[in-house]
Amino acid sequence: MTEIIVADDQIEVLDMLIRSLRDDTRTVHAFSTGREALAHLKQHPDQISLAILDLDYGPDEPDGLEILPQMLNVVSDLPVIMLTGQGTIDTAVAALRLGATDFIEKDFYIEDKIELSLKKLDRVYQALKENALLRAEVQDLGRENQFYRDEFGKRYQIIGSSPKLQQILQRAQTVAPIPRPALITGEPGTGKELVAAAIHYGSDRKDRPLVKVNCAAIADQLLESELFGHEKGAYTGATEARPGKFEAASGGTLFLDEIGNTTPEFQQNVLRAIEYREIQRVGSATPIFVDVRVIAATNTDLETEIAEGRFRQDLYDRLRFEVLHMPPLRERREDIPALADYFVVQIVEEVPGLQKRNFSDAATERLMTYRWPGNVRELKFAAERAACVARETEIEPGDLPPEISQQAPQSSESSDDFESQVQSFELSLLRRILNTVSWNQREAAKQLKLSYDQFRHLYRKYKLNKEKP
């Protein structure tokens, strides 16, 4: 028989917890204050398997953050879930650092969250054993734990020392252990996927799957099947049942890139998966439980999308537990030399016989003054290309792509308008892809995941031709 302690000063919440938790295999001991719950635990330390505490018990009563460490002093590996009606990042971090297992906000769905949590109690207990070991290791590491903080970005190839980037990395490290969604915003090519990976591998889920999905690269009619799976015969061509990405990521993290490019109908299904921790395969009415942390990314302004009816407010509210905005490369230019050198070192290691060269002062100046509409992704291409074509002792401006080497150097304070930056990026991308496919337009359209008509429109728009790159 499993025995559970619950303590909440709201009678309706307490009744709900008792109703949700109690069954033939569980006994629930309910209290209105944390002090009473602690006293019961002290009397029966070997019998209690789980405690659920409220954050605030009202005036003159110790709050949940005070009761939590006292409970763990009695039973060091006791699973403790913290409830709050005013969840914040700081409060969640404090609770988890004190040893809480989970942190649940009191909202309209709290009963569903509790009921679904019961389905994974066995997994929770196992995870707690692992967490206890991890916490012990962290306590033993001492100074090395500070080294981990300083090296957080480097562990995931997030290169740079600019204040803006360091601020993002500190926030990513803070949110990593909190089992809640996160939203990463920023222009294409700024490194959103790397930050998502850093959050995953900085969490207790690091030994479980990190599954990545680019929502913009999958047709709307296939996206639901890709993420939620389908049953045999669900649609034409579905010759066998297949699990989706949510099932593949269960126990780990699902990274949904370009979430802003999805339909409101699809967004509703993602919201349900986050809220209820269950999905339904296409063609099935049977729910499947999934334990997935969702990290989403977008380069669109979701608040504008919400105002225009293209993105759901409720999903946005769930995703923005923490919002990390990746700055464009032009706003952290001090990171450009280190990034460029890093990309050169990487390709030299990959290509046998390729010689390591440094960038000359003139080439570095071009890198520093270019607008970088494609951000770090474009810089990676430029540095790798330069490393491969350079023949002098240093990488010179002529070794850089034409859009960088052939333009006059400009002040880093210049402020092209948004449309100019978009056009510059489109032109750079089109030229790069065309060069890689020997100017085969159909192949270029395929590489860019555009229809041939869409590609031809851009080709004519920029008056591209092979003779005049």
- CATH code, domain carrying 188: 3.40.50.300
**Helices 110-118 and 121-141: angle between axes, nearest 10 degrees:** 90
Q: Which of 325, 340, 361 is the last residue of a domain?
A: 325
**Is residue 287 located within the same domain as residue 396?**
no
Rounded distance between C-alpha atoms, residue 389 and residue 411, angstroms: 27
Q: Which residues of 281-297 are buried (b: 16+ CB within 10 A; e: fewer)?
A: bbebeeebebbbbbbbb
**Angstrom distances, CA of residue 138 to CA of 141, 145, 248, 305:** 5, 7, 29, 42
Instruction: Tell me whether residue 145 is in a domain.
Output: no
**Is residue 249 located within the same domain as residue 301?**
yes
Element (H, E) at 81: strand 80-84
**Is residue 368 located within the same domain as residue 405?**
yes
**Is residue 90 located within the same domain as residue 189?**
no
**Is residue 6 located within the same domain as residue 123?**
yes
Rounded distance between C-alpha atoms, residue 101 and residue 127, angstroms: 9
The total number of structural domains that make up the chain: 4
Instruction: Tell me whether residue 144 is in a domain.
Output: no
Q: Do 340 and 385 form a contact (C-beta atoms < 8 A)?
A: no
pLDDT in tens, the chain (469 residues): 679 999 998 888 888 888 878 877 789 999 999 999 999 999 999 899 889 999 888 888 999 999 999 999 999 888 888 887 766 667 777 787 788 877 777 766 666 666 665 555 455 545 544 554 444 444 444 333 333 334 455 556 688 888 899 899 989 999 999 989 999 999 999 999 999 999 999 999 988 999 999 998 888 778 888 899 888 888 777 788 888 999 999 999 999 999 998 999 999 999 999 998 899 898 888 999 999 999 999 999 999 999 999 999 999 999 999 999 999 999 999 999 999 999 999 999 999 889 999 999 999 999 998 999 999 999 999 999 999 999 999 999 999 998 898 765 444 444 455 666 677 777 778 888 887 788 888 888 888 888 877 787 788 777 776 544 4
**Is residue 32 located within the same domain as residue 167?**
no
Q: What is the pLDDT of residue 412?
A: 41
**Is residue 305 located within the same domain as residue 386?**
no
Q: What is the pLDDT of residue 48?
A: 92
CATH number reported for the structural domain that contains residue 432 in this entry: 1.10.10
Nearest CA among 191, 194, 149, 173 for reference residue 89: 173
CATH number reported for the structural domain that contains residue 345 in this entry: 1.10.8.60
Instruction: Tell me whether residue 49 is in a domain.
Output: yes
Instruction: Tell me whether residue 152 is in a domain.
Output: no
Range of the domain at 313: 163-325
Q: What is the pLDDT of residue 411?
A: 45
**Is residue 203 located within the same domain as residue 118?**
no
**Is residue 51 located within the same domain as residue 114?**
yes
Q: What is the pLDDT of residue 426?
A: 77
Rounded distance between C-alpha atoms, residue 132 and residue 134, angstroms: 5
Q: What is the pLDDT of residue 327?
A: 94
**Is residue 185 located within the same domain as residue 283?**
yes
Q: What is the pLDDT of residue 30?
A: 94
Location of structure tokens 């303590």: 7
Instruction: Tell me whether residue 153 is in a domain.
Output: no
What SS3 class is residue 75? coil
**Is residue 360 located within the same domain as residue 403?**
yes
Instruction: Tell me whether residue 146 is in a domain.
Output: no
**Is residue 364 located within the same domain as residue 466?**
no
Instruction: Tell me whether residue 120 is in a domain.
Output: yes
Q: What is the pLDDT of residue 388?
A: 94
